[in-house]
Amino acid sequence: MNDFIGKTHGEALDLVAERFAEREALIFQGRRWSYRQMRAEVEAAASRLATLGLEPGAHVALWLPNRPEFLWYWLGATQSGLVAVVLNTRLAREEAAYQIRQSRAQAILVPGAGAFRDFLAEIAAAGPFPELRHVVALDQPGPDHPGALDWSEPPPHPLPPAPRAGNPTAPCTLAYSSGTTALPKGILLTHVLWRKGFDGAVRMGVGPEDRQYLAVPLFGIMAMVNGILTLWTQGGAIILEERFDAGRCLATLVEERVTGILLVPAMVKALLDHPDFPATRHALRFGGAVTRDPAELETIITRLGVRELVNSYGMTETAGVAVRTWHHATLEERLRVQGHPLPGVEIRIGDPDQDGALPAGAEGEIQARGYCITPGYFDKPEETRAAFTTDGWFRTGDRGRLEADGSLVFLGRLKDGYKHKGFNVSTAEVAHAIAQHPAVVEVAVVGLPHPADGEVGAAFVVLRAPLDAAELEAFLVPRLSGYKRPAHLFALDRLPITAGTGKIRTSALKAWALERLAGTRSAAP
């Protein structure tokens, strides 16, 4: 039974603090917090936020790296009726400025002196922000930032308790889309995140003895729900890292008796390539990864040793994972499908051009419905209306199919394909074929406009050995029809990805290729 159904963040925190009081909840740089102590930190953060005098529903931005204060102030804001706006710490200054303005944040919390970038200086340079009333530094701001509030020390006297939010269906978190488009949308999420964390934990087989290593950024829904809340609904512990380092990770897995991990592909490669890996390999039971590539998943399970790694499907708009395999499913099933919908979530395959469901086995747009779907994009009514069918299903923009048993198979983004001489080409299929070449480490494929053929393919590869276009063409002849083989091959040192999510920025690759072919650009994206 999911005891988090219908609970606000504050009620959920009360529940776990009572149920798991003295168990370890969080470990960070040698410091440890029990569930009771974690609850006290969140209460203190809520009380301090209350001193800003913000009205219920006001937006408070968190532009913070992985550190405990992110959690204290995220949950402190949400439990007291504020909306926490979580910002990517790798945003360029103007990208961050857009999100601060668009979210109408009235306060922003940032690190002070000593952080990896001068957040306070960048806010000052990117302003003015008409609705921003408070800039708060969680470390000493230094003499160059006299206007920032200094919250580096506890308040001089105890503060009264902050008010509590009472409506679990009200928005409490605002997270922006990954930024592969020019203007990311602010995705509103409600207090249902704890409920989702619990159901996801059941599929992963997580229990109170589990301990998860977490180095993916906290500002992403993957870390917040699949990491923090998944473990905390079960009484498990989070070992939080400020940033990922493969050597330190390998040592920590052993020292802290870690049983689970969340991964992005770059982390997997770094761990497997590290000289300490063979000697310090530590078997892990559960985990999740930002990939749906069967080969990458199998590598994590067999070579990295995360034996019950689950497959899944979801996005920020569905409050994280909406579909997941069971941890005890066969390896073949976990590699083949993304799983079944979580309780309270419905998935159908629809025609992207008109409302209605397609039959089992048909390919179309993955559409979702249920308690966890975003109520909409903040201050973007047209985009919100366009995101839903007239009968109330959320349009994911992804292509997939449902098997006869109701399990979902993800096939790629609807817009990732292109049409060459009238034939539809799946970029995922082409990329999978290219990835089989032994010289290829990573690959991405996009379609480029062509005056005669409609569109042609462009492949971007990271190589471990030289590979020219003629050799690749010969390799692909038995693997892909002629109309599917790419017209252009670009070798790069790395593929551009979005911070936190690890998604390949195909829009950046496309723009770079077009400029390169036009002779106006030579630098890599």
* 406 and 425 housed in the same domain: no
Q: Write out the two tokens for 262.
A: 């969340």
**Residue 249 CB neighbour total at 10 angstroms:** 23
287: helix, strand or coil? strand
Comparing 275 with 283, the larger pLDDT belongs to 275
Largest Cα span, the chain: 74
pLDDT in tens, 14-60: 999 999 999 999 999 999 999 999 999 999 999 999 999 999 999 99
Q: Which of 397, 356, 396 is nearest to 374 (CA)?
A: 396
* 67 and 94 housed in the same domain: yes
Asked if residue 203 is part of any domain, the answer here is yes
Q: How far apart are CA 422 and CA 445, in angstroms?
A: 18
Q: Which of 226, 291, 302 is nearest to 260 (CA)?
A: 226
* 36 and 152 housed in the same domain: yes
Q: How far apart are CA 230 and CA 324, in angstroms?
A: 13
> Does the pLDDT value for residue 277 go beyond 50?
yes
* CATH number reported for the structural domain that contains residue 65 in this entry: 3.40.50.980
* Among candidate residues 142, 161, 190, the one where a domain is terminated: 190
pLDDT band at 424, cuts 50/70/90? low
Report the pLDDT value the prediction gives residue 180, as an integer from 0 to 100.
41
Comparing 93 with 483, the larger pLDDT belongs to 93
Comparing 74 with 503, the larger pLDDT belongs to 74
Q: What is the mean pLDDT of the chain?
A: 92
Comparing 428 with 496, the larger pLDDT belongs to 496
* 300 and 206 housed in the same domain: yes
Mean pLDDT along residues 130-143: 96
Report the pLDDT value the prediction gives residue 179, as an integer from 0 to 100.
45
Asked if residue 4 is part of any domain, the answer here is no
Percent of the chain with pLDDT over 70: 96
Mean pLDDT along residues 470-491: 89
Sequence-separated (6 or more) residues with CB below 8 Å from residue 315:
221, 322, 396
Asked if residue 367 is part of any domain, the answer here is yes
> Does the pLDDT value for residue 255 go beyond 50?
yes
* 208 and 150 housed in the same domain: no
* CATH number reported for the structural domain that contains residue 262 in this entry: 3.40.50.12780
Report the pLDDT value the prediction gives residue 454, as an integer from 0 to 100.
76
pLDDT in tens, 210-248: 999 999 999 999 999 999 999 999 999 999 999 999 999
> Does the pLDDT value for residue 300 go beyond 90?
yes
Mean pLDDT along residues 300-313: 95
Domain that holds residue 441: 417-517
**Residue 232 CB neighbour total at 10 angstroms:** 26
> Does the pLDDT value for residue 350 go beyond 50?
yes
Mean pLDDT along residues 409-413: 87
pLDDT band at 181, cuts 50/70/90? very low
**Residue 482 CB neighbour total at 10 angstroms:** 11
Report the pLDDT value the prediction gives residue 408, as an integer from 0 to 100.
97
Report the pLDDT value the prediction gives residue 499, as an integer from 0 to 100.
62
Secondary structure element (H or E) that encloses residue 261, with its range: strand 260-263
Total domains present in the chain: 3
At which residue do the structure tokens 């400020």 appear? Answer: 242
